[in-house]
Structure 1
Amino acid sequence: MSNKKRTVGLVAAVCIAAVAGGAWGGYHKYFQAYSPASRAPLAESADKLTPFQKSVLSDLNRQCASGIIYQDGYFSGGEPPPKIGVCTDVVIRSYRAAGVDLQTAVAADIAAAPEAYHIARPDPNIDHRRCRNLTIFFRRHARTLPASGPNADWEPGDIVFWDTFGDGQAHHVGVIANHLGASGAPTVTHHWPGQIVSEMDWLYRLHPISHYRWRQSDAARAPHSV
Structure 2
Amino acid sequence: MSEEALKRTEVFVLYDSSYYRISYPGGDVPQHSGVCSDVVIRSYRGLGIDLQKLVHEDMRTSFSAYPAYWGLTKPDSNIDHRRVPNLRVFFTRHGISLPLSKDPQAYQAGDLVSWNLRPGGSLPHIGIISDEKSTDGVPLVVHNIGRGPELEDMLFDYEITGHYRYGTGDPNP
Query: Shorter-normalised TM-score: what interval?
Result: 0.7 to 0.9
State the one-letter code of the partner of 2:12.
Answer: G
The answer on 1:116 being equivalent to 2:65 is: yes
Give the aligned partner of residue 102 of structure 2. 149
CA RMSD of aligned residues (A): 2.0
Give the total of aligned pairs: 164
Give the aligned partner of residue 91 of structure 1. 40
Q: Which has the higher helix share?
A: 1
Matched ranges for 1:10-21 at <5 A: none
Give the aligned partner of residue 38 of structure 1. none
Secondary structure of the residue that 1:147 maps to in structure 2? coil
Q: Which has the higher strand share?
A: 2
C-alpha contact (below 8 Å) 2:16/2:35 kept by paired residues: yes
C-alpha contact (below 8 Å) 2:63/2:74 kept by paired residues: no
1:209 aligned to which of 147, 161, 171: 161
Secondary structure of the residue that 2:172 maps to in structure 1? helix
- Cα deviation, 1:42-100, whole Å, max 9, x if unaligned, reads xxxxxxxxxxxxxx233222211112221111121151111111000000000111121
State the one-letter code of the partner of 2:3.
Answer: S
Give the aligned partner of residue 42 of structure 1. none
- Cα deviation, 1:103-147, whole Å, max 9, x if unaligned, reads 000000001111101442311000000011110100100101122
CA–CA separation in structure 2 for the residues paired with 1:163 and 1:101: 25
2:150 aligned to which of 181, 187, 198: 198
Give the aligned partner of residue 20 of structure 2. 75
Q: What is the TM-score when the length of structure 2 is the normalising length?
A: 0.86
Q: CA deviation at 1:152?
A: 6.2
Structure 1 unaligned residues grouped into runs of 5+: 1-55, 221-226
Runs (4+) off by over 6 Å: none
Q: CA deviation at 1:209?
A: 1.5
CA–CA separation in structure 2 for the residues paired with 1:216 and 1:136: 21
Give the aligned partner of residue 55 of structure 2. 106
State the one-letter code of the partner of 2:165.
Answer: R
Structure 2 unaligned residues grouped into runs of 5+: none
CA–CA separation in structure 1 for the residues paired with 2:12 and 2:170: 33
C-alpha contact (below 8 Å) 2:104/2:137 kept by paired residues: no
C-alpha contact (below 8 Å) 1:168/1:209 kept by paired residues: no
C-alpha contact (below 8 Å) 1:160/1:210 kept by paired residues: yes
State the one-letter code of the partner of 1:207.
Answer: E
Once the two structures are overlaid, the 10-residue window that deviates more, 113-122 or 206-215, is 113-122
CA–CA separation in structure 2 for the residues paired with 1:176 and 1:190: 9
- Cα deviation, 1:159-188, whole Å, max 9, x if unaligned, reads 000011234756000001111113421000
